[in-house]
Amino acid sequence: MNSEKVVFAFFIVLAMTLNFGFFTGGMDNVAYHSEYELFAAIVVNLIATILKFGDRTHLGAVFLATSLVAIIQLLVAAIIWGLSEHVFETVGEEWLPIVVSLSGGAFLANITSVVLLVAETLSVRR
Amino acid sequence: MPRSILYILLRRLRSPLIALVTVYAIFIIGFVLIPGKGSGGGMTFFDAFYFVSYTGTTIGFGELSKGGVGFSPGQRAWTLVAIYATVITWLYGIGSLLTVLQDPAFKRILKHSKFSRKVKELREPFYIICGYGDTGRQLVNALSEENIRSVVIDVDEDKINELEVEDLLLPSLGLAADASRSEVLLDAGIKREWCKGVIALATNESTNLSVAITVQLLNPKARFIARADSVEMQNNILSFGANEVINPFETFADSLSLLIHSPSLYTLFEWLSGVPGDTLAEPFFIKKGHWILSGYGRFGQAVYNHLSEIGVQVRVIEPDIEKRDVPSSSVLGYATEAATLKKAGIEQAVGIIAGTNNDPDNLSTLMTATEINPNIFTIARQTQQQNAEIFKAANLDLVLQRGGAVAHKIFALIRTPLLGDFLRIAIRFKEHKANILVSRIIGIAQDETPKLWEFVIDKETTPALYNKVSIQSVVIADLLRSPRDRSRTLNALPLFLNRGKGNVMLPEDDRQLEVGDRILMCGSEDADCLMQWTTKNMNVLSYLMTGKTESSSHVAKWFNKTFGKSA
């Protein structure tokens, strides 16, 4: 068992599950979307991205790319949330659909990462 | 393989980055969860991120109060931990970044990638020079004077630093790396179209050999010139398709035997491989008689063999009794002592060659020799570049300098590739034929070293000549007319004509030219410019051949054709 692989797989899968937890629920009710969950998803995604820095294999490059996509989408979602609530002080929750759909996009990127991870694991056969 | 600097930087900074993200996450979540003073709960994520950011970077705006009330004791306690943890993590991160940037290996990679980027940006012909010793330095200097770019590779980092501070007219690119590795040569642009040639001057002979192999396999079209210190290596490198291999000792010995055998040919060679603009050296006059040679190392042996071949009697002085293969007539002892020199017959000798590898010894030998026999011809071998001034002041008849001799030869070969072929044939000239050639060159060159140039009759470089030659006969005399006034001739002398496998020495005036001919010319700077005009401009060439100025526009041509030859 390779501890480095464990850590990496852990973060990739955790990034996806956290993101999924945030994403599920209707577009109109903020109660279904916990801000703590979004925060956790961002942190875990950041760590997963940094873990992939410097991997020069082709698969490593694709991992880095999908992680970057996810993290950028999540960061944009968080910025929109923060700005709307604290800077523009928007009344009501019109911004919620944008945040949720952005995290949905990030979720797709996370799924790609996990699929790649599974494919890599299966091809090793050890 | 492209080496991404950013990639390496990110990989080295992986753990500090992860540490920063984790520490920030822990403290942000803490501030969100810990209840504040008054009615409200903890901070929002926005406020928490703001607070941790200015605390961690030691900016410290103070407590983030909500409605005028300060932090609760819980928040203060958490801030205490946060201050130390985030500041330490930042220090760790910045420290790691500085360590990576200061790392010699990382710096080398930075320099390397900058070098290969600059080589990729070159849009002009350049030469790759492997080895930046005495020879390399002089060659790079001479090339930059001629406006030719050089790309230098040397294993020694100090030498590359020297190159960088050198005040060159045309700055050259340098890289400290092992030229025997093919990827280094690739980065130096060996496969680029602009790479005109590779010159291997490394002190390590096997490096030169592997450079030869790389050039032959990766870019057989590039000219390859190498230095080799032994005959075996010379043949070995030649077998890899090198254009020229130069053995410094043989080069010396060759020119020495030429000097003694035929001084006028020697002078001719010096002129032709000289740097343009130098004053012409006076032809030497050397009496027949016996010579003294001090030192029987590699240099001494080469000189002895060459001189014996042409029938010159040489007395060797060698201090080392153990040395084998020393000629039987040799004198044992130190050449710096008058007694030893007298024993070798200094009073009757016509010349003395000081050929040990110790510069002060050589100088002292020659000074003692001139004291005993003031008329003796003195030749010194100079090994160290920095002794040039002393040798100049010693007022010797001839100083042979290894770096200089090889650099000169390579430079001449780069500028005019035909010169090598010309010199190989000219060396077999009889003395009186050589005298005629020398006097003809003196005739055209006045006092300065003549300029050599060559051209080939083809579509790209000499379009006018190419067109004319394909439709009618053009003779050499036409080219030698001055475009300013066709009744005058240019100050130039055709030395050599190469047509396929055939070579013509000193082609005569009425020789017809053909497409693909390569011609080596020698003459004044001015003549070179004028001749370029002739070969490139159709109207000038027509004027030279017919004496008439041809109209260049279509309308004028039609006008002349229809209304008679009034032009």
**Which chain A residues have a beta carbon less than 8 Å from that of B11?**
53-54
CA-to-CA dists, residue B24 to B81, B87, B273, B440, angstroms: 12, 11, 71, 86
Please write down the HEC assignment for all residues of B32-94.
HHCCCCCCCCCCCHHHHHHHHHHHHCCCCCCCCCECCECCCHHHHHHHHHHHHHHHHHHHHHH
Question: Do residues B43 and B132 share a domain?
Answer: no
Q: B52 to chain A: which residues are within 8 Å by CB? A: none
- Do the beta carbons of residue A84 and residue A95 sit within 8 Å? yes
Judgement on whether residues B241 and B258 belong to the same structural domain of the protein? no
Per-residue tokens: A39: 């925060």
**B83 and B133 together in one domain:** no
Chain B contacts of A85, Cβ < 8 Å? 44, 46
Interface probe with A: pick from B1, B3, B4, B7, most Cβ of A within 10 Å: B7
What secondary structure letter does DSSP report for B513? P
Residues of B in contact with A43 (CB under 8 A): 21-22, 25
CB contact under 8 Å between B46 and A86, yes or no, is yes
Relative to beta strand B291-294, strand B351-354 is parallel
Give per-residue pLDDT as tens, B128-186.
999 888 888 888 888 888 888 899 999 888 888 888 888 888 888 888 888 888 888 88
Which of A10, A39, A75, A84 to mutate: most B Cβ within 10 Å?
A: A39
What are the tens digits of pLDDT across the range B250-261? 877 877 877 887
Same domain? For B320 and B390 the reply is: yes
Note down pLDDT in tens along chain B; length 567 residues: 345 777 788 888 989 999 999 999 999 999 998 888 776 677 888 889 999 999 988 888 888 876 667 888 888 899 999 999 999 999 999 999 999 989 888 888 888 888 888 888 888 889 999 988 888 888 888 888 888 889 999 988 888 888 888 888 888 888 888 888 888 888 888 888 888 889 998 888 888 888 888 888 888 888 888 888 887 888 888 887 777 888 888 877 877 877 887 777 777 777 777 666 666 667 677 777 888 888 888 888 888 888 888 788 888 888 877 777 777 777 788 888 888 888 888 888 888 888 888 888 888 888 888 888 888 888 888 887 778 888 888 888 888 777 777 887 888 788 777 887 787 787 777 777 777 887 787 777 666 777 788 888 888 888 888 888 888 888 888 888 888 888 888 888 888 888 877 888 888 888 888 888 888 888 887 888 888 888 888 888 888 887 776 666 677 667 767 775 544
B338 interfacial to chain A (CB closer than 8 Å): no
In terms of domains, do B58 and B150 share one?
Answer: no
B407 touches B246 (CB < 8 A): no
**Closest approach of chain A CAs to the CA of B109, in angstroms?**
15
Instruction: For residue B116, tell me if it sits in a domain.
Output: no
Residue B566's pLDDT is 46
C-alpha B488/C-alpha B485 separation (Å) is 6
Does B28 reach chain A within 8 Å, measured CB to CB? yes
Q: What is the Cα gyration radius of chain A?
A: 16
* Chain A residues whose beta carbon lies within 8 Å of the beta carbon of residue B45: 35, 39, 78, 82
CATH number at residue B206: 3.40.50.720
Asked if residue B349 is part of any domain, the answer here is yes
Q: How many CB pairs under 8 A join A and B?
A: 42
Assigned domain for B34 exists = yes
Is residue B513 packed enough to be buried (19+ CB in 10 Å), middle (13-18) or exposed (0-12)?
buried
Q: Give the domain range for residue B350.
A: 254-263+275-411
Q: Where are the domains of chain A?
A: 3-124
> Residue B42 belongs to a domain with what CATH number?
1.10.287.70
pTM of the model: 0.68
CATH number at residue B501: 3.30.70.1450
Which residues have C-beta within 8 Å of that of residue B88, sequence separation ≥ 6? none
- Output phi, psi for B505, to 5 deg: -85, 140
Question: Do residues B289 and B384 both lie within one domain?
Answer: yes
Q: How many domains does chain B have?
A: 4
Q: Do A54 and B8 touch (CB under 8 A)?
A: yes
Domain assignment of residue B428, yes or no = no
* Cross-chain Cβ contact A86/B44 below 8 Å: yes
Q: Are residues B204 and B325 in the same domain?
A: no
**Do the domain assignments include residue B222?**
yes
B97 touches chain A (CB under 8 A): no
The answer to whether B10 contacts chain A (CB < 8 Å) is yes
Of B14, B28, B44, the CB nearest to A53: B14
